[in-house]
Chains A and B, each alone.
Chain A
Amino acid sequence: MVRREVVGARYGVRDWLAQRVTAVVMAVYTLLVLAVFVSVPVVDYWHWKSLWELAVMRYATVLFLLSLYLHAWIGVRNIFMDYIQDPGLRLTLYTIVIAALMSYAVWSVQILWGV
């Protein structure tokens, strides 16, 4: 292979924007949940369970977690781009992180709808 420095992948702005949008989603969710916890005191397991049986709570939480995983993916990829110089190793690490985050996503849904 030629030893040539290549740049110009023509992406980045969508990820940059997505990171900001997901941050807003997470911030709104955090305030919402804090408000719920303040107004509805969770004293025991049954209170906790009934709260998470509400569809709106489940969907909001799934939205929050998916935002978190997307946000984390962009951030972790940025770290690898900065510090891991070997493209092969970087691709391997990307694959591991994507697999882990996708598993977390499925697992989150399982947990939320399994309460």
Chain B
Amino acid sequence: MRFSIYRYNPEADDKPRMQDYDVALEPADRMLLDALVRIKAHDDTLAFRRSCREGVCGSDGMNINGKNGLACITRMADLKEPVVIRPLPGLPVVRDLIVDLSQFFKQYHSVKPYLVNDDPPPATERLQLPGDRDALDGLYECILCACCSTACPSFWWNPDKFVGPAGLLQAYRFIADSRDQATNQRLDDLEDPYRLFRCHSIMNCVEVCPKGLNPTRAIGKIKELLVKRTV
């Protein structure tokens, strides 16, 4: 099978290049990550991140035939040849398919992605009604693979100011949490032309999310709450 893979070592190369690989796959090589591991067995200079190899850790996010996704849960059978693999777009490349995610995590941390509750903690745990717990479905599953934020044009233009779909999904995850007491501060923090309102509902995030989540809907809910608070 033919692959065309982005190669770049900023310390040694003047500019990035695409390297072609022809690989004979084994029957067990079902997913793209299997193929990448096989390529790396032949050429150990190729660098990429991977860990759990089953779509849970979010390490192997990359741009596959033009669309962001996780290599470990992308089926080889669904890919057109040559398979063009590039790093996630819009972030600085550390090496080959490895990008520097500092900016992404800085935005994630900026939404205070943890429960804020000043009540004394109960002996066991803070309970929720089943309905309240259901409100977190479609939000808590995010694995922070950065596929969505790096597919978002608004994040490309303003990665330092726009929180991005992943961060905003997490922001809403805590706004929606019945145990959280900082809703107003969270909304204050997001009511900003850059932090939230750079989202123009382009919906690339929904298109690429490997977990099938919908950050645009979460962002819409935040906007709804802001409107409710204003009018």
Which listed residue, B160, B161, B191, B223, touches A10 by the CB 8 Å rule? Answer: B191
User: Is B196 interfacial (CB-CB < 8 Å)?
Assistant: yes
**A14-35: contact bitstring with B at CB < 8 Å (1 yes, 0 no)?**
1111000000000000000000
Which listed residue, A5, A12, A82, A83, touches B192 by the CB 8 Å rule? Answer: A12
**B208-228: contact bitstring with A at CB < 8 Å (1 yes, 0 no)?**
000000000000000100110
Q: Is the CB of A16 within 8 A of B223?
A: yes
Which A residues are closer than 8 A to B by beta carbons? 5, 7-17, 78, 81-83
Residues of A within 8 A of B20 (CB): none
Alpha-carbon gap, A11 to B196, bound state (A): 10
Chain A interface, DSSP helix/strand/loop, else mixed? helix
List 20 contacting pairs A-B, 8 Å CB cutoff, sorted by A: A8-B195, A9-B192, A9-B194, A10-B188, A10-B191, A10-B192, A11-B191, A12-B193, A12-B196, A14-B230, A16-B197, A17-B230, A17-B231, A78-B197, A78-B200, A81-B193, A82-B153, A82-B154, A82-B157, A82-B158
Q: Is the CB of B227 within 8 A of A13?
A: yes
User: Is B189 interfacial (CB-CB < 8 Å)?
Assistant: yes
Residues of A within 8 A of B158 (CB): 81-82
User: Is B30 interfacial (CB-CB < 8 Å)?
Assistant: no
Task: Tell me the B151-170 residues at the A interface (CB within 8 Å).
Answer: 153-154, 157-158, 160-161
Instruction: Name the distance in Å between A75's Cβ and chain B's nearest Cβ.
Output: 10
User: Is B112 interfacial (CB-CB < 8 Å)?
Assistant: no
Which listed residue, B189, B194, B197, touches A15 by the CB 8 Å rule? Answer: B197
Q: How many A-B residue pairs lie within 8 Å, measured between CB atoms?
A: 51
Residues of B within 8 A of A16 (CB): 197, 223, 227
Residue of A12, A14, A17 ringed by the most chain B CB atoms within 10 A: A12
Residues of A within 8 A of B200 (CB): 78
Residues of B within 8 A of A82 (CB): 153-154, 157-158, 198
Residues of A within 8 A of B196 (CB): 12
**A7-B198 CB under 8 A given contacts A14-B230, A17-B227, A17-B230:** no
Alpha-carbon gap, A81 to B154, bound state (A): 10
Alpha-carbon gap, A36 to B224, bound state (A): 35
Alpha-carbon gap, A9 to B191, bound state (A): 8
Q: Is the CB of A8 within 8 A of B157?
A: no
Chain B residue nearest in CB terms to A75 = B200
Alpha-carbon gap, A82 to B198, bound state (A): 8
Instruction: Name the distance in Å between B227's Cβ and chain A's nearest Cβ.
Output: 6
A-B pairs, top 6 by smallest CB distance, nearest first, are A12-B197, A13-B226, A12-B193, A82-B157, A7-B194, A7-B161
